Chains A and B, each alone.
Chain A
Amino acid sequence: MKLDPNRRQFLKNATRTAAGVCGIGVILGLQQHQANAKEGVALRPPGALAEKDFLAACTRCGQCVQACPYDMLHLASLLSPMEAGTPYFVARDKPCEMCPDIPCMNACPSGALSEELTDINDARMGLAVLLDHETCLNWQGLRCDVCYRVCPLIDKAITLDRIHNDRTGIHAKLIPTVHSDACTGCGKCEQACVLEEAAIKVLPMDLAKGLLGRHYRLGWQEKQNAGKALLEEQHPDGLRPAFDARMPEGQVEPVYQHMKVQPDVKVATPNRATYDYVPNPTTVDAPEHYPNLDLNIKGVK
């Protein structure tokens, strides 16, 4: 079949245009797919500069990925949650093993993983946050403690803080509490969380942290620092009648009790690292209260 030149020209142009449009479409489609790349929260390797600086510094060479002895770093492709070619890890998948010699940082040729990180414990890859109180077993009053136990900085980065268990009225809840001054964001807690979906997750710092107003002062801390109350000991005379006037007939304003300054004592959970921790014996003594109690209720012969 011989096509006439005009028709041939048209078909060629049409094919070319279609190919060009498809190409542009694929590229744009890839970008759209990026949002669907759900692998968990992507985190930068230890020593990474702040994200904006990191993106300006990282040469996308992947030498940190090759240097990691645990193969937990990935190099982003076009569909990864991070910019193509940059390194990241997903804590739930494989957390940072906290090598003391920081091979990934030392392999980095550009300083995107900063040489200023000399102690791996100073790394801030992110911050672990106990996100979901509704599923965390410790929040239910159970003793899971797994995130606390696996933390490389146990009792520093994660402590168990006691609160009252209102459900039973007689128990404590031991709440895993992360402290940002110690947490490196290695993600071992997130990986170890026993739930189907981790209740504790490592988030990038800017997502994880709130920020107090710079003018904000916490009264008890100021009191602690000053060693005394910073307010007037007495109600100013001018206000006294007003307080009394607000009280019901015949009653007076209760006398304001000043808060006592107490040293801020942290009570740590028993820790094998600090002293000889002897666990409670697990053998149970024979019951003594009802020595003759017959449990054969149904009278089985």
Chain B
Amino acid sequence: MATVKTTPNKPKDAGLEARQKLGWWHAYRFLILRRLSQLSIILMFLSGPLWNVWILKGNYSSSMLFDVVPLTDPLITAESLATGYLPEWTTIVGALIIVAFYAVFASKAFCSWVCPMNIVTDAAAWLRRKLGIRQSAKLPRNLRYVILVMILLGSAVSGTLLWEWINPVAALGRVFVFGLGATLWLVAVVFLFDLLVVEHGWCGHLCPIGAAYGLIGAKSLIKINVVDRERCDRCMDCYNVCPEPQVLRLPLHGSESDSPIVLDKDCITCGRCIDVCPENVFAFGSRFEKQVQVKNI
């Protein structure tokens, strides 16, 4: 049992201890890998328009991989179906591929490893920690699921894709390929909202795309595991850095009966908790109790 800290680390120092103790790469590896993943996907969209090397055609809403594999945002497809329109098979198959992948792969992996808005909201959260902005307007975390249902019902009633006129995630995705328009303002609004109004406001409380992926990946295979609760010295770095800190409480500080696996569907499998923990409490693993040991880099 590690000695419990009497004073937890400050939010602005989240990851500092891990950096000093375990080295720079260890404290940032999954963050760097995620940024590389996000940027490489942006590059796959851009390589066609820029250098005529077409890897992904389209954008995050709907795309074609190597002109063969269709990929479609499940929420847009659901909205389209809700209006009573049956899209062509390309769109349906694309949505099924995405749903199957994220249902099996990892909890909300889209949010942390693919979504471009994640870079913006992470930046806002980082700045929030550095500036020591602690207070936050309270929004219920489940509001996103209410919004998700509202969007689907609204699409059915209105007959249009209700969410798409304001969808900042799709708008940001379009920026890279189709140029920056007024989208900049929309992204700025999300950034400032996260920075000044609600902590993790967009991704953690409002975004219906994330909510959809949360439902899709609720039973996915890869989850964050608490390797050993005993090691935890309550420095609070993981809570400070986690975009969904409520998912850590039970696996880390729950009772005997609580699983040491982060099973909550809201966990975005970003691995920041693994990065910043100076005691190596966390590791990527599977959702099963009797698990195969996963070797972490």
- On A, residues with C-beta under 8 Å from B are 12, 15-16, 19-20, 22-23, 26-27, 30, 33, 52-53, 55-63, 65-66, 74-75, 77-80, 83-85, 107-111, 115
Most buried by B among A20, A26, A56, A63: A56
- Contact status A62-B196, CB under 8 Å: no
- B37 within 8 A of partner (CB): no
- B47 within 8 A of partner (CB): no
5 of the cross-chain contacts (CB-CB < 8 Å) are A60-B161, A63-B58, A77-B174, A85-B164, A85-B174
- Contact status B192-A60, CB under 8 Å: no
Known contacts: A63-B64, A78-B182, A110-B90. The answer to whether A57 contacts B85 by CB under 8 A is yes
Min C-beta distance of A67 to chain B, whole Å: 8
Of A16, A60, A80, which is within 8 A of B76 by CB?
Answer: A60
CB-CB under 8 A from A79, the residues of chain B are 181-182
- B225 within 8 A of partner (CB): no
Min C-beta distance of A7 to chain B, whole Å: 14
Q: Which B64-121 residues have a C-beta within 8 angstroms of A?
A: 64, 70, 72-73, 76-77, 80, 83-85, 87-88, 90-91, 94
- Contact status B72-A60, CB under 8 Å: no
CB-CB under 8 A from B80, the residues of chain A are 56-57, 59, 110
A34, closest chain B residue (CB): B182
- Contact status B171-A61, CB under 8 Å: no
- Contact status A60-B61, CB under 8 Å: yes
- Contact status A109-B186, CB under 8 Å: no
CB-CB under 8 A from A85, the residues of chain B are 61, 164, 167, 170-171, 174
Assembly CA distance A110 to B159 (angstroms): 16
A20, closest chain B residue (CB): B197
Interface string of B213-257 (1 = CB under 8 A from A): 000000000000000000000000000000000000000000000
CB-CB under 8 A from B159, the residues of chain A are 52, 55-56
Interface string of B45-75 (1 = CB under 8 A from A): 0001100000001110111100000101100
CB-CB under 8 A from B161, the residues of chain A are 55-56, 58, 60
- Contact status A59-B177, CB under 8 Å: no
Additional pairs, 15, CB under 8 Å, beyond known A16-B197, A63-B62, A109-B88? A19-B193, A19-B196, A20-B197, A56-B85, A56-B160, A59-B61, A59-B62, A61-B59, A61-B61, A66-B57, A74-B178, A77-B179, A78-B185, A85-B61, A107-B57
- Contact status A62-B197, CB under 8 Å: no
Min C-beta distance of A113 to chain B, whole Å: 10
Known contacts: A61-B63, A63-B63, A109-B70. The answer to whether A19 contacts B185 by CB under 8 A is no
Assembly CA distance A146 to B165 (angstroms): 39
Assembly CA distance A62 to B137 (angstroms): 37
B76, closest chain A residue (CB): A59
Between A and B, how many residue pairs show CB distances below 8 Å?
142
Q: Which B154-199 residues have a C-beta within 8 angstroms of A?
A: 155, 159-161, 164-167, 170-171, 174, 177-179, 181-183, 185-186, 188-189, 192-193, 195-197
- On B, residues with C-beta under 8 Å from A are 48-49, 57-59, 61-64, 70, 72-73, 76-77, 80, 83-85, 87-88, 90-91, 94, 135, 137, 155, 159-161, 164-167, 170-171, 174, 177-179, 181-183, 185-186, 188-189, 192-193, 195-197
Known contacts: A61-B62, A63-B58. The answer to whether A55 contacts B160 by CB under 8 A is yes
CB-CB under 8 A from A110, the residues of chain B are 62, 80, 87-88, 90-91
- Contact status A27-B186, CB under 8 Å: yes
- Contact status B58-A61, CB under 8 Å: yes
Known contacts: A27-B189, A61-B59, A61-B62. The answer to whether A83 contacts B165 by CB under 8 A is yes
Min C-beta distance of B66 to chain A, whole Å: 14
- Contact status A109-B189, CB under 8 Å: no
- Contact status B181-A66, CB under 8 Å: no
Assembly CA distance A15 to B131 (angstroms): 14
Known contacts: A19-B197, A62-B59, A110-B91. The answer to whether A56 contacts B83 by CB under 8 A is yes
A25, closest chain B residue (CB): B189
CB-CB under 8 A from A26, the residues of chain B are 185, 188-189
Of A23, A30, A107, A111, which is within 8 A of B182 by CB?
Answer: A30
B67, closest chain A residue (CB): A107
Min C-beta distance of A106 to chain B, whole Å: 11
- Contact status B174-A78, CB under 8 Å: no
Of B160, B167, B185, which is within 8 A of A30 by CB?
Answer: B185
Of B155, B166, B196, which is within 8 A of A84 by CB?
Answer: B166
Min C-beta distance of A37 to chain B, whole Å: 10
Min C-beta distance of B106 to chain A, whole Å: 25
Assembly CA distance A19 to B174 (angstroms): 26
Assembly CA distance A62 to B70 (angstroms): 14
CB-CB under 8 A from A12, the residues of chain B are 135
CB-CB under 8 A from A23, the residues of chain B are 189, 192-193, 197
- Contact status A52-B160, CB under 8 Å: yes
A107, closest chain B residue (CB): B57
A86, closest chain B residue (CB): B164
B49, closest chain A residue (CB): A66
Assembly CA distance A60 to B58 (angstroms): 9
CB-CB under 8 A from B182, the residues of chain A are 30, 33, 77-79
CB-CB under 8 A from A27, the residues of chain B are 166, 185-186, 189
- Contact status A111-B88, CB under 8 Å: yes
Of A15, A53, A63, A115, which is within 8 A of B88 by CB?
Answer: A115
Known contacts: A12-B135, A63-B62. The answer to whether A75 contacts B170 by CB under 8 A is no
